[in-house]
Amino acid sequence: MAQTFDFKPQVDFLSFDGGVKARGALVKPSQSALRELSDIEEKILSGKKARITSGAGLSFGAPHFGDDIVSIDNSRFSEIIDYDSENGLLEVQAGATMAHVFNFLVEKERYLVTQPGYPSITVGGCIAVDVHGKNQLRDGNFREQVQSLKLFHPSRGIISASADINKEIFDLTCGGYGLTGHIISAKIRTRSLVSPTMALYIVPLDNILDTPAYITKAAKENDFVVSWHDFSARGAAFGRGFLLVGKFVAGPEIKPKRAEGALHLPLHWTLNAQSRKGLDLAFYSLPFNRLINVLYGGINRFSTEARLITVQECLYPARTLRQLYYKMFGQAGFHESQMIVPLDRFAEFTEALKNWLDRNELAVTLASAKVFMGTQSLLRFDGDGICFALNFPRCEASGRFMLFLDQLTIDLGLTPYMVKDSRLPLAVVKKAYPQYDEFKERLRKFDRERLYRSELSRRLEL
């Protein structure tokens, strides 16, 4: 039988945030996931080599590659397998992207309620990281939309798993960072799309301490809510900003001003780790950041009229601008720190950030929050509280800021998102994830040879 997969024995990988480089191998099956995975096993991996599945490679850190690890690129397996219209259940191959799923469902006036903000992210990546979407408080994490999945592991063959069948494996795989095996396909729940149009309005936040109450109320009553804060302002203005609140609205006269021509999304998207680092120069500095924040914050905070946007603009906001935003960090890259802050520690958290940023010169290019409700278990990014995301350029000051955030995470009992911080130390993960040892033990029980590995699994000794 002729070989149908591409194999590159030496590839230099880079994480999306620019923080991790590694030299591994890349194999890209192309025709039939099942047949070729066995073939790859026999010809490349010989049953022993460390391997990891990769989706679109859009994790900020490196859970999908590592030194001397074979990354198995799953992106060619993007078929819609079946759609059960009675129950709104969609069966897809795990390499299907958010755009594939969106295009299929929108014609049926349905959508995937929990999804990350970029169209080329894959279903496999969403399951393995248990990502969150636009209203975690109402909809939960991605695993809550997964009815069942099929997993390939060379020592175990194909396993069907769900909350009822092979629950242990399902539990370990959703938010298991690809360490249990290769997800082939999944059946996912979809929701009725009330309207392809969303009304978006602004709620100004003059005091950052108002965020928990306002954002929680808005999340309970609306479809989408996220906050934006100015962390370059000083004194009492520190952290002022606004909530961006969205609700689907229907009616024949309701049409977005700037409706995208086509209902469907393009399937090809250019943002990835290589394209992100395209610019030689890093543009962000504190004065530049202040100027942008005054303009952006000013325009938004005082806009009183609701804006109509398309569902595409809501699910995957500012796609072109976002590409530029990430590119402007230049070759050195950036850090993202995203953590869940318990409500009763929110004031201490913001005060600590304010004090540190008062004393140090660092451009925080993004400070944004969502509200979370859930139970944290194993290594999943879940729990109750305010989920805060911070971006800043990779530089000497930001290295110190990350160490400060590590200590704050331990002191205030925060939960950091592993997939966003490519250097998160083991000591912090052990403190922040009480079931770290249990995950490790259960993973070893499931896969004695520990075949699936990555930079993340090595750093975290999984």
Ligand X SMILES: Cc1cc2nc3c(=O)[nH]c(=O)nc-3n(C[C@H](O)[C@H](O)[C@H](O)COP(=O)(O)OP(=O)(O)OC[C@H]3O[C@@H](n4cnc5c(N)ncnc54)[C@H](O)[C@@H]3O)c2cc1C
Interface with ligand X: number of residues (CB under 6 A):
30
| Binding letters toward ligand X, positions 190-229, x by CB under 6 A | ----------------------------------------
Tell me the C-alpha distance between 98 and 205, whole Å: 32
Is residue 368 near ligand X by the rule CB under 6 A?
Answer: no
Q: How far is the CB of 251 from ligand X (least distance, A)?
A: 29
* Smaller CB separation from ligand X, 125 or 154: 125
Among 5, 24, 64, 289, binds ligand X (CB under 6 A): 64
Among 15, 74, 350, 422, binds ligand X (CB under 6 A): 74
**Contact track, ligand X, 92-111, x by CB under 6 A:** --x-----------------
The per-residue b/e assignment along 227-250, b for 16 or more CB within 10 angstroms, e otherwise, is bbbbbbbeeeebbbbbbbbbbbee
Measured distance CA(61)–CA(72) in Å, rounded? 17
Spacing of C-alpha 367 from chain mean position: 16
| 118 lies in the binding site for ligand X (CB under 6 A) | yes
Closer CB to ligand X, residue 347 or residue 426? 426
**Element of type H or E holding 287:** helix 286-301
Site for ligand X in 379-438 (CB under 6 A): 419
Backbone angles phi, psi at 73, to 5 degrees: -75, 120
Contact 176, 443 (CB under 8 A): yes
- Give the residue with the Cβ less far from ligand X, 368 or 435: 368
Interaction between residue 122 and ligand X (CB under 6 A): yes
For residue 63, state whether it binds ligand X (rule: CB under 6 A).
yes
Least gap, CB of 374 to ligand X (angstroms)? 13
Q: Does 66 bind ligand X (CB under 6 A)?
A: no
Query: Smaller CB distance to ligand X: residue 238 or 433?
Result: 433
The nearer residue to ligand X, 81 or 352, going by C-beta atoms, is: 81
The neighbouring-strand residues paired with 452 are 51
136 binds ligand X (CB under 6 A): no
CA 297 – CA 155 distance, rounded (Å): 54
Amino acid at 235: G
Among all chains, which residue has been given the structure tokens 């490519």? Answer: 422
Whole-number Å distance between alpha carbons of 104 and 111: 9
What burial letters (b/e) apply to 303-312, b meaning 16+ CB within 10 Å?
eeeebbbbbb
Between residue 317 and residue 336, which ones bind ligand X under the rule CB under 6 A? 322
Q: Are 114 and 124 in contact (CB under 8 A)?
A: no
Residues that bind ligand X (CB under 6 A): 16, 52-59, 63-64, 74, 94, 116-118, 121-122, 124-125, 128-129, 131-132, 177-178, 182-183, 322, 419
